[in-house]
Amino acid sequence: MSLSFAGTAQYQQIPSAVYHWNGVTVTKKANSEQRVLLEGATPAFTHMKVHATTVAAGEAPHPGHEHADEELIIVKDGQLTVTIEGKKETLEKGSIALIMPGDEHALTNGGQKPVTYYIMRYETGQPQPERGTKAGGSFVRHWKDLEYKTHDKGGRRNVFDTATTQSERFEMHITTLNEGLMSHPPHTHKAAEILLLIEGEAEESIDGTWQTSQIGDIIFLQSQVPHALRNTGKGSATYFAFQFE
Whether residue 2 is predicted with pLDDT greater than 50 in this model: the reply is: no
Domain match, 154 and 135 both? no
Rounded to whole angstroms, the Cα distance separating 182 from 205 reads 10
- Give tens-digit pLDDT for 159-173: 999 999 999 999 999
Tally the domains of the chain: 2
3-state secondary structure of 74: strand
Final residue before a domain boundary, out of 95, 114, 142: 142
Domain match, 96 and 185 both? no
Rounded to whole angstroms, the Cα distance separating 60 from 168 reads 32
Name residues whose C-beta falls within 8 Å of residue 101's C-beta, 6 or more positions apart in sequence. 66, 67, 68, 69, 70, 123, 127, 129, 132, 165, 166
Domain match, 28 and 128 both? yes
- Give tens-digit pLDDT for 189-227: 999 999 999 999 999 999 999 999 999 999 999 999 999
CATH code for the domain in which residue 167 is found: 2.60.120.10
Domain match, 165 and 97 both? no
Q: Structural domain of residue 220, as residue ranges?
A: 144-244
Length of the chain: 245
Q: Evaluate whether residue 193 is within a structural domain.
A: yes
Name residues whose C-beta falls within 8 Å of residue 137's C-beta, 6 or more positions apart in sequence. 100, 103
Half-sphere exposure of 217 (CA within 13 A, CB side): 20
Domain match, 162 and 70 both? no
Q: Evaluate whether residue 24 is within a structural domain.
A: yes
Q: Evaluate whether residue 211 is within a structural domain.
A: yes
Rounded to whole angstroms, the Cα distance separating 240 from 197 reads 6
Task: Decide if 6 contacts 42 (C-beta within 8 A).
Answer: no
Rounded to whole angstroms, the Cα distance separating 146 from 172 reads 12
Q: Evaluate whether residue 197 is within a structural domain.
A: yes
Final residue before a domain boundary, out of 84, 111, 142: 142
Q: Evaluate whether residue 78 is within a structural domain.
A: yes
Q: Evaluate whether residue 5 is within a structural domain.
A: no
Domain match, 218 and 196 both? yes
Domain match, 25 and 115 both? yes
Band (63; pLDDT cuts 50, 70, 90): confident
Q: Evaluate whether residue 4 is within a structural domain.
A: no
Final residue before a domain boundary, out of 95, 115, 142: 142
Domain match, 77 and 148 both? no
More confident residue, 153 or 5: 153
Rounded to whole angstroms, the Cα distance separating 27 from 39 reads 16
Which burial class, exposed, middle or buried, applies to 152 when counting CB atoms under 10 A from its CB (0-12, 13-18, 19+)? exposed
Domain match, 149 and 111 both? no
DSSP one-letter string for 17-31: EEE-GGGSPEEE-SS
Cα dihedral: 17, 183, 155, 114 (round 10): -20
- Give tens-digit pLDDT for 78-96: 999 999 999 999 999 999 9
Domain match, 79 and 164 both? no
Q: Evaluate whether residue 3 is within a structural domain.
A: no
Rounded to whole angstroms, the Cα distance separating 106 from 60 reads 8
Domain match, 170 and 95 both? no
Domain match, 178 and 135 both? no
pTM: 0.94
